[in-house]
């Protein structure tokens, strides 16, 4: 299988560089080699590679900046995705793409299932929803994963921000009324490879699938967990768990509104692939271990 991976340097892209290897010949491109906003170059480059499978891990993920730069967010998250989906349809290739819990408004009490009504609260969510619609409208073969609260040892993410702040400051304030499931880029990339293999054997249908770790937490509880575990592992932090103050969303105003409930039910993909998705704590522990091994003061 000839595989083209886009967004190779993002959190998920980096992990996909590893997990896609057993599935075929992988060409992995980052922004330096291919700017997704340059639509003509994008189309020409993808056509030239003639991939059997396109895996798109590139995205505009700056949620707050998207409020003032909607054109860039839509260019990467929707227009570029439309081009990929149209080329996949023309050439009979499969597109693997990622979307977000932020397509939902977070007012549902339970975890969101794939068929729930989308109603994004911010520009980023609208741009990602537009990308989903492009994929579904193009008529290509596709696997589209919605995930949430992504983290990895290499990327910019909430957990690394908490570690930095806890090192620099004696106390922290963290939002306690938004709930979700932190999901590691490792898990997403592992399950993506399993899903591609199953799809290739016609054991997984085209469609939208929710993919997150098991369990539920708030940003506040996640911050407490991270600081507690990091201290146990010997990270030198100023702030202790007791120095983390829970606050409400309205006490931490940001340009983009966020859903209060980000929980996605991942039963469909777990059932189809025969998986037991791990609790979110498992990969948080793995990440802290990786950071400690790399650099004791991370």
Ligand X SMILES: NC(=O)c1ccc[n+]([C@@H]2O[C@H](COP(=O)([O-])OP(=O)(O)OC[C@H]3O[C@@H](n4cnc5c(N)ncnc54)[C@H](OP(=O)(O)O)[C@@H]3O)[C@@H](O)[C@H]2O)c1
- The residues annotated with a catalytic role in the active site are 124
User: 76, 84, 207: which is closest to 138 by C-alpha?
Assistant: 84
Q: DSSP of 201-270, one letter per residue?
A: TT-S-SEEEE---BS-EEHHHHHHHHHHHHHHTT---S--GGGEEEE-GGGS--SS---SB--B--HHHH
Nearer to ligand X, 36 or 263 (CB): 36
Is residue 64 involved in binding ligand X (CB under 6 A)?
no
Is residue 125 involved in binding ligand X (CB under 6 A)?
no
CB of 31 to ligand X, least distance (A): 4
CA distance 247 to 251: 6
Nearer to ligand X, 86 or 212 (CB): 212
CA distance 230 to 166: 10
Is residue 130 involved in binding ligand X (CB under 6 A)?
no
CB of 189 to ligand X, least distance (A): 9
Q: Quick one: which of 26, 53, 76, 153 contacts ligand X (CB under 6 A)? A: 76
CB of 148 to ligand X, least distance (A): 5
Q: SS3 string of 35-86?
A: CCCCHHHHHHHHHHHCCCEEEECCCCCCCCHHHCCHHHHHHHHHHHHHHHHH
Is residue 106 involved in binding ligand X (CB under 6 A)?
no
Q: Quick one: which of 51, 106, 125, 155 contacts ligand X (CB under 6 A)? A: 155
Please give the structure tokens belonging to residue 47. 């056509």
| Contact set for ligand X, span 170-189 (CB under 6 A) | 185
Q: CA geometry: angle at 245 spanning 221 and 165, to 5°?
A: 80
Query: Does an H or E element contain 18, and which?
Result: helix 11-19
| Contact set for ligand X, span 243-272 (CB under 6 A) | none
With 0-12 / 13-18 / 19 or more C-beta atoms within 10 angstroms meaning exposed / middle / buried, residue 92 is exposed
Binding pattern to ligand X, positions 3-42, x when CB under 6 A?
Answer: ----x-xxxxx-----------------x---xxx-----
Size of the site for ligand X (CB under 6 A): 26
Cβ atoms of 192 and 16 closer than 8 Å = yes
| Minimal CB distance residue for ligand X | 10
CB of 241 to ligand X, least distance (A): 23
Is residue 144 involved in binding ligand X (CB under 6 A)?
no
Is residue 235 involved in binding ligand X (CB under 6 A)?
no
Nearer to ligand X, 185 or 227 (CB): 185
Residues in touch with ligand X (CB under 6 A): 7, 9-13, 31, 35-37, 57-61, 76, 98, 100-101, 128, 147-150, 155, 185
């Amino acid at each position: 299988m000839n595989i083209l991976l886009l967004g190779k340097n993002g959190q998920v892209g980096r992990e996909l560089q590893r997990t896609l290897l057993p599935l075929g010949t992988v060409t992995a491109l980052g922004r330096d080699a291919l700017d997704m906003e340059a639509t003509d170059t994008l189309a020409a480059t993808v056509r030239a590679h003639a991939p059997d499978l396109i895996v798109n891990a590139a995205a505009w993920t700056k949620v707050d900046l998207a409020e003032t730069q909607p054109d860039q967010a839509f260019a990467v998250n929707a227009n570029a995705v439309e081009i990929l989906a149209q080329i996949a349809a023309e050439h009979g290739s499969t597109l693997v793409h990622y979307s977000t819990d932020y397509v939902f408004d977070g007012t549902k009490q339970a975890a969101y299932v794939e068929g729930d009504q989308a109603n994004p609260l911010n520009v980023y969510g609208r741009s990602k929803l537009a990308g989903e619609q492009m994929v579904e409208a193009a008529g290509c073969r596709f696997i589209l994963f919605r995930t949430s609260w992504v983290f990895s040892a290499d990327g910019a993410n909430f957990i690394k921000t908490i570690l930095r702040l806890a090192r620099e400051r004696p106390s922290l304030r963290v939002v306690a009324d938004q709930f979700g499931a932190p999901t590691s880029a490792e898990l997403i990339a592992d399950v993506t490879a399993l899903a591609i293999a199953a799809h290739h054997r016609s054991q997984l249908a085209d469609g939208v699938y929710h993919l997150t770790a098991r369990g539920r937490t708030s940003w506040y509880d996640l911050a407490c967990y991270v600081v507690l575990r990091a201290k146990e592992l010997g990270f030198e932090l100023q702030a202790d768990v007791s120095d983390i103050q829970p606050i409400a969303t309205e006490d931490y105003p940001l340009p983009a509104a966020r859903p209060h409930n980000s929980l996605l039910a991942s039963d469909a993909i777990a059932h189809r692939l025969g998986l037991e998705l791990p609790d979110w704590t498992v990969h948080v522990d793995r990440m802290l271990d990786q950071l400690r091994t790399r650099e004791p003061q991370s």
